[in-house]
Amino acid sequence: MDDALSLFDDDTERFSKAKPPVPALMTDSQRHSIRLGFQELKIADAREQFAVVLELTGQNITSVAQLEARHAQTLIFGLDEKIKTSGRQNTGNAWDDREEDTWIDKL
C-alpha cells in the first residue's frame, strides 16, 4: 500500500501528536475600543473591569494580556449595550422599558 491517506486508516497517532491551535489574543484596535467603552461607563478600577469582562464574556482573566480576540469582540458588543442602556431606568417590564414606539403607540 502506498503513503496515500485513506479514510479508514488508523491515524490516531498522527492526530494525538498535533497541538491544539493557540487562541489569538486581542488586537490593538480591540484594546482601544474596550478602553473607550470603560471610559464611557466610568469604570476605571481594574477589579471592576475584570468583573465586567467575566460578566459579559464568561472569561475570568487576571491580566489584560489574557483576553482572547473572540472574547474581546464579545466584550466590545457588551460594553456598547451597557453604554446604550446606561442612565435608563429598568423596571423589569419589557413593555414599559421599550425604547421605541410600537405600531400600537402610533395609532
Q: Kindly tell me if the per-residue pLDDT of 1 is higher than 60.
A: no
| 3-state helix, strand and coil shares in percent for the chain, rounded to the nearest 5 | 45, 0, 50
pLDDT for 90: 66
User: Per-residue pLDDT tens for 41-79?
Assistant: 999 999 999 999 999 999 999 999 999 999 999 999 999
pLDDT for 50: 96
pLDDT for 101: 75
Helices (H) and strands (E) in the chain, counts: 4, 0
pTM for this prediction: 0.67
Cell numbers linked to 104: 400600537
Q: Kindly tell me if the per-residue pLDDT of 8 is higher than 90.
A: no
pLDDT for 32: 97
User: Per-residue pLDDT tens for 83-106?
Assistant: 988 877 667 677 766 767 777 777
